[in-house]
Structure 1
Amino acid sequence: MNLAITLKSATYLQKEFSSDEIKSILKNDIVFSFRTHKPFALLLFIHDVHKNFIQIHIADGTNVVLIYNFHQKIIVRKIDIGKILTNGHPVQIKIAHQQNHTLFTANKDFVVIPLMKAMKDNRESSSDTSLIEIENDQMIGFKSTVSKNQMFIGGIESSELIHSIPGFIGCIQGLMIGEQLLDLKQWATEIKEQNTTKSDHIKVGCKMLCDDMPCNNGGTCTEDWEHESTICD
């Protein structure tokens, strides 16, 4: 099983799940790490047909942002981890559910947030506009009808969702939902078998040239994932 994928340009991985599967995913702990130079990009978006969702993205060059719904209410939390976010160093994200609260962690920084397991179900109204309208350019919104339970990694393409968040460029690795480590290589293989142009922009593994070939004289190395080269400043 390969635990990492590199998105060489703004593209995405996507997978559909059954109702029971997505319910478990939305209620379980989430752990993964990433490396990038992008200041603003989507990392992960998970949703069900009842418009329960978890969104994780990076913004403003220093912030890791978590947005999710607590029943009908939308909760937004940010962790400012500084310039390490965009210098290509590993950043680990963790959402860990405790008995009465949830811990949202980015590297060594964390915030305590309301328990994320409180979701709408099919007996509750889905007409709350706070889950349909986009409050700002950093929030993904739903159209009136949602027919699929889905997970998106690195970007989104869906006729049922509204968004303006750029796609992620860099590597994502070790994505674990609960105790299950997701096989991102298999996801990438499935995309390749569909003969889509997306497969040209997805590479298995997370090997950075800057690690093996750092810049001379203390220069700053920037990974050019698309062209598999580096830039020294």
Structure 2
Amino acid sequence: MCKAQAQGGWLETGQHRGAQVTQLSDVVHESVRQRLDRGLRDILDGLDADDLSAVTVEAVAQEAQVSRATAYRHLGSREELLRRAAIGLVEGHISKCQDALYRTTTVAQRVEEYFVYNLRESARDRRIQVLRESPRTSGIVAAIREMTSTVLGPALQSGQLEGQVRDDIPVDDLVTWIIDQVEILNRQVRSMTEDEVRVWVRRFILPVLDPPGNADGRLRAQVRSLLDDVQVRLQEVNVSIAAGRYTFRA
């Protein structure tokens, strides 16, 4: 009986130690991945010219202070490395872009701010531009599509339900079209100011998104947004008045 219990204890202890080893291994692997990602970012930041010849698995391994074998095990081929770089750079802009769009209330405002953000931030990110112009990486296209879909997809979908956006074209197709327009903007961005981008979006982008036969749809959406804001403020005033009356009676 005691022997069986002891054996059970040994088994439990062995399983516990095995779990600890697994957890430790996960921590080590995560640390290696973080070092490789940081090494990749440092190399992209330090590019001397607009080419990617310096971005290699070996260079990242040296920057991260890990062996080549370890780097290849985590990063794979050079094409996979460039794809990882593209995704990482664009992902860094997603949360910032969402913050920029946070205060907007209509789909038109969100689309406009999205294009302005591209002018102000991602289109002027030299690392993204280098990856965009390189024939050796297609990851940047997929990453930009993911960013556009994440940031604007839900807004376009809700806009269709609310009558702000045409619903005769699927949201995915609208996202693809917007990405094409972003590419056009990127080719002109050096000669355009933020105000010029806003005018460009209002003249050429927003009218295409309007529901057919509903040219004033965006205006009605903006009026509805203003009325909602007024209603909220009136409710706040009513609460303040009620509180004042209660204080006066007391």
Q: Pick the TM interval, shorter chain.
A: under 0.3
Select the structure of larger CA radius of gyration: 2
**Greater strand content:** 1
**Greater helix content:** 2
TM-score (norm 1): 0.26
Which fold has the larger relative contact order, with Cα–Cα distance below 8 Å and residues 6 or more apart in sequence? 1
TM-score (norm 2): 0.25
